[in-house]
């Protein structure tokens, strides 16, 4: 099963300043959440494979919210990549990088933002053809100083720092030349999803879209 490539990893990163890291426990939340994010200006949605409902949520968003681009997050194996593609994910995000995840995504034609936190991981992902990478966990693994240090040896790589990023520190990350966008869960708070507070999520998305790059 191959994904009809409709988007590249670079386009996923360029679309908005923030990629929301979404955790969905209930399939009924998938459509209103996706619509709220789209209304706030965010189309690239990373639905993490951290719940049993995640794949079905991706499938529902892919079918029912065509303005959104549903991707799968927390891809940790080739099987995760295959299941994500089958569910209709248009891109994948992984918390780390392994050759088997990279190969599965290449074979499926699923654009991947591989997670990296060290120079060796960046080199391995680059060797396998990936130049748009997720820096995870960004704040915990060195934050701004790490990204600045990577500008020399890895000047051609664009990063999406994720982990510990929020509205307050996002501008500093987005100001760096090697940062294309950031990722974060702050625009999709679990309590807002549980309460069905879609207008709050739309407001958080709109606010995030105003961040300068």
Q: Which of 59, 90, 132, 134 is catalytic?
A: 134
127 is catalytic: no
Distance from C-alpha of 180 to C-alpha of 94, rounded to nearest angstrom: 17
Binding range to ligand 3PG, per CB under 6 A, among 2-10, 58-66, 123-131, 178-186: 178-186
Pair of tokens at residue 37: 């994010």
- 184 in contact with ligand 3PG (CB under 6 A): yes
* 116 interacts with ligand 3PG by CB under 6 A: no
- Residue nearest to ligand 3PG as judged by C-beta position: 185
Residue 163 binding ligand 3PG, by CB under 6 A: yes
Q: Cβ–Cβ contacts within 10 Å for residue 168, how many?
A: 8
Regarding 97 and contact with ligand 3PG (CB under 6 A), the answer is no
Strand partners, 158: 132
Residue closest to 44 by CA, chosen among 174, 199, 187, 212: 187
Distance CA 85, CA 4 (A): 10
103 catalytic? Reply is no
CB of 2 to ligand 3PG, least distance (A): 26
CA pair distance 84, 58, nearest whole angstrom:
8
Site residues (CB under 6 A) for ligand 3PG, limited to 133-162: 136, 162
Per CB under 6 A, 21 contacts ligand 3PG: yes
- Report the half-sphere exposure of 90 (CA within 13 A, side-chain side): 20
Active-site positions read 46, 134
Q: Which residues of this protein are in contact with ligand 3PG, per CB under 6 A? A: 21, 136, 162-165, 183-186
């Amino acid at each position: 099963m191959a994904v009809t490539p409709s988007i590249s990893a670079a386009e996923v990163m360029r679309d908005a300043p923030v990629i929301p890291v979404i955790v969905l426990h209930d399939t009924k939340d998938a459509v209103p959440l996706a619509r709220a994010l789209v209304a706030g200006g965010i189309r690239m949605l990373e639905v993490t494979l951290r719940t049993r409902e995640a794949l079905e949520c991706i499938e529902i968003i892919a079918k029912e919210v065509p303005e959104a681009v549903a991707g799968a997050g927390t891809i940790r194996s080739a099987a995760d990549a295959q299941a994500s593609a089958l569910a209709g994910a248009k891109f994948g995000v992984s918390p780390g990088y392994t050759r088997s995840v990279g190969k599965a995504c290449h074979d499926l034609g699923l654009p991947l933002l591989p997670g990296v936190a060290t120079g060796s991981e960046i080199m391995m992902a680059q060797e396998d053809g990936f130049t748009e990478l997720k820096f995870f966990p960004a704040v915990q693994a060195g934050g701004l100083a790490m990204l600045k240090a990577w500008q020399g040896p890895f000047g051609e790589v664009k990063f999406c720092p994720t982990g510990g990023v929020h509205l307050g520190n996002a501008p500093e990350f987005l100001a760096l030349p090697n940062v294309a966008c950031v990722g974060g869960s702050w625009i999709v708070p679990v309590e807002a999803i549980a309460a069905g507070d879609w207008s709050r999520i739309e407001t958080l998305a709109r606010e995030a879209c105003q961040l300068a790059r």
